């Protein structure tokens, strides 16, 4: 990495420091509740060409930041001697924000590339479990009672009953919550057990570091556990060496009756490359799916979350939210929190009609996506201009983003290839077809690309 004082890296760091100063200024200039709700989770992503990009975990909050809180944010930045022309917000949790910021620095990590870390041993952070994910606050309905029972079974008798336990299902359906709840329960019962919760991404990075930098500690970190919990297994697709290592780890733990718990967005049989080995291994244990919650379960989840957050809503409000958000519990939570904020700011004027109008507005503000939105979001994610993205350049840093835009126009809008070509100012529809096919293929094996596509999709919709 370039270490000269003028290197891009250092300049970015300086802007990041200014952002931290601005965040500090916001903390002193606003009341504690406002700060906690709107500003505390804002993370710096990048600052280039007068454009500051920040991330927030929630699009409802972003809406407020772009409206009501635009001026306070500007003022705080000014106080920190920072005056970007444009401030943009993207939706991302804290760990996503780190990933995105990091990805901007090292584009791909594989055994052939080098990691920007200093040689040392691989870090072993305690269990990594989040104490908020427990069985007690998990609402059980028809959609998830089997998976819940399997998790409880594992928590009662780790390493014996279902080993491995493999849970799969769509985004926001509670997989992370459940697998961590198992870990927390086992920890409470067996304080002497060594438990590790890890995203497969970390496993992969640790493995690459252990090979490239010859760091010690990898085997110890992963094999010397009583319970190993692996989240988002699908990202191991296409990473052959890491897969081999994963199977060694897996064998070792299973032979010693140590519990393995895996989550993924799809069943093992649908993880390319891994399918055969993983399926047969997992069949020795338990493979089980989480389904989207039905209406009643959604209401129960909302009531539980409201109680936990000390919010009080009438049943019409709860039912309205449960009808509107059907397939992702994270969205349900987001809407509930937003209703809570609205209730707090409107007091007695808060009503179902008002909430409906506000949530309608959110839709207006972020209309169903269009080819233009997709192109803009893709260009902005990769820090390109729309003209560059639509140009004839075949340079990789422009070509891949262009193909991602093509792919999203196909998957999000179901445009025809000639329509996609036209949206990008081209006549020939075969380039659009090739582009879509290429991303389609790559996405199955490249977790980072998949991640990028998801972020752009969220930003465009």
Binding window for ligand ADP (CB under 6 A); candidates: 138-146, 187-195, 210-218, 427-435: 138-146
Q: What is the DSSP string of 227-296?
A: EEEEE-GGGGTT-HHHHHHHHHHHHHHHHTT-EEEEEESS-GGGSTTTHHHHHHHHHTSEEEE-----HH
Q: How far is the CB of 291 from ligand ADP (least distance, A)?
A: 11
Residue 301 in the binding site for ligand ADP (CB under 6 A): yes
Q: How far is the CB of 283 from Mg ion (least distance, A)?
A: 23
Site string for ligand ADP, 145-184 (x = CB under 6 A): --------------------------xxxxxxx-------
Cβ atoms within 10 Å of 411's Cβ, excluding its own: 16
The verdict on whether omega for the bond into residue 83 sits within 30 degrees of 0, i.e. cis, is no
With CB under 5 to 8 Å by kind, the binding choice for 301 among ligand ADP, Mg ion, none is: ligand ADP
Site string for ligand ADP, 84-123 (x = CB under 6 A): ----------------------------------------
- Consecutive H or E run containing 175: helix 175-189
Q: How far is the CB of 165 from ligand ADP (least distance, A)?
A: 15
Q: How far is the CB of 39 from Mg ion (least distance, A)?
A: 25
Considering beta carbons, is residue 80 or 282 the nearer one to ligand ADP?
282
Distance CA 177, CA 82 (A): 39
Considering beta carbons, is residue 289 or 399 the nearer one to ligand ADP?
289
Distance CA 46, CA 216 (A): 33
CA 277 to chain centre: 27
Considering beta carbons, is residue 138 or 350 the nearer one to ligand ADP?
138
With CB under 5 to 8 Å by kind, the binding choice for 333 among Mg ion, ligand ADP, none is: ligand ADP
Residue 340 in the binding site for ligand ADP (CB under 6 A): no
Asked whether 459 and 412 are in contact (CB, 8 A), the reply is no
Q: How far is the CB of 392 from ligand ADP (least distance, A)?
A: 40
CA 62 to chain centre: 17
Site string for ligand ADP, 227-266 (x = CB under 6 A): ----------------------------------------
Gyration radius (Cα) of the chain, Å: 23
Q: How far is the CB of 94 from Mg ion (least distance, A)?
A: 14
**Which residue number is nearest to ligand ADP in terms of Cβ?**
174
Q: How far is the CB of 37 from ligand ADP (least distance, A)?
A: 17
Considering beta carbons, is residue 82 or 197 the nearer one to Mg ion?
197
Q: How far is the CB of 241 from ligand ADP (least distance, A)?
A: 26
Q: What is the DSSP string of 368-407?
A: SP-HHHHHHHHHHHTT--HHHHHSS---HHHHHHHHHHHH
Q: Which residues of the shown chain bind Mg ion in the complex (CB under 5 A)?
A: 176
Residue 138 in the binding site for ligand ADP (CB under 6 A): yes
Cβ atoms within 10 Å of 238's Cβ, excluding its own: 18
With CB under 5 to 8 Å by kind, the binding choice for 268 among Mg ion, ligand ADP, none is: none
Considering beta carbons, is residue 141 or 170 the nearer one to Mg ion?
170
Distance CA 404, CA 453 (A): 7
Asked whether 325 and 295 are in contact (CB, 8 A), the reply is no
257: left (phi over 0), alpha (psi -120 to 50) or beta: left
Binding interface with ligand ADP (CB under 6 A): 138-139, 144, 171-177, 301, 329-330, 333
């Amino acid at each position: 990495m370039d270490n000269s004082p003028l290197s891009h890296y250092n300049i970015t760091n300086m802007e990041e420091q200014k952002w931290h100063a601005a965040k500090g200024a916001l903390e002193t200039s606003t009341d504690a509740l406002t700060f906690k709700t709107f500003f505390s989770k804002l993370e710096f992503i990048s600052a280039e060409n007068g454009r500051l990009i920040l991330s927030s975990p929630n699009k409802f909050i972003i809406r407020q930041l772009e409206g009501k809180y635009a001026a306070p944010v500007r003022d705080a930045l000014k106080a920190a001697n920072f005056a970007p022309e444009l401030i943009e917000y993207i939706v991302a949790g804290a760990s996503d924000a780190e990933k995105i910021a990091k990805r901007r620095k090292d584009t791909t990590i594989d055994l052939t590339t080098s990691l920007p870390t200093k040689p040392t041993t691989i870090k072993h952070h305690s269990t990594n479990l989040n104490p908020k994910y427990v069985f007690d606050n998990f609402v059980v309905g028809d959609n998830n009672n089997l998976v819940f029972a399997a998790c409880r079974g594992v928590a009662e008798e780790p390493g014996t009953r279902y080993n491995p336990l493999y849970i799969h299902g769509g985004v926001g359906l509670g997989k992370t919550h459940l697998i961590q709840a198992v870990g927390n329960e086992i920890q409470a019962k067996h304080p002497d057990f060594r438990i590790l919760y890890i995203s497969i991404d970390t496993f992969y990075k640790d493995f690459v570091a252990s090979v490239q930098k010859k760091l010690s500690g990898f085997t110890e970190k992963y094999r010397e556990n009583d319970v190993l919990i692996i989240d988002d297994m699908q990202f191991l697709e296409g990473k052959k060496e890491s897969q081999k290592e994963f199977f060694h780890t897996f064998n070792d733990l299973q032979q010693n009756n140590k519990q393995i718990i895996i989550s993924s967005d799809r069943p093992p049989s649908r993880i390319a490359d891994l399918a055969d080995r993983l399926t047969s291994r997992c069949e020795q244990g338990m493979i089980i799916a989480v389904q989207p919650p039905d209406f009643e379960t959604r209401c129960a989840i909302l009531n539980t979350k409201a109680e936990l957050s000390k919010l009080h809503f009438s049943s019409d409000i709860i039912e309205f939210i449960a009808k509107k958000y059907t397939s992702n519990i994270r969205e349900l939570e987001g809407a509930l929190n937003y209703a809570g904020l609205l209730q707090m700011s409107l007091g007695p004027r808060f009503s179902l009609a008002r909430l409906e109008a506000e949530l309608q507005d959110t839709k207006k503000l972020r209309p169903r996506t269009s080819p233009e939105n997709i192109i803009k979001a893709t260009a902005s994610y990769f820090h390109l201009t729309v003209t560059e993205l639509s140009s004839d350049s075949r340079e990789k840093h422009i070509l891949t983003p262009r193909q991602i835009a093509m792919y999203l126009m196909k998957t999000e809008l179901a445009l025809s290839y000639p329509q996609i070509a036209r949206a990008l100012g081209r006549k020939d529809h075969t380039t659009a077809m090739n582009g879509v096919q290429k991303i389609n293929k790559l996405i199955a094996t490249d977790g980072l690309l998949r991640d990028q596509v998801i972020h752009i999709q969220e930003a465009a919709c």
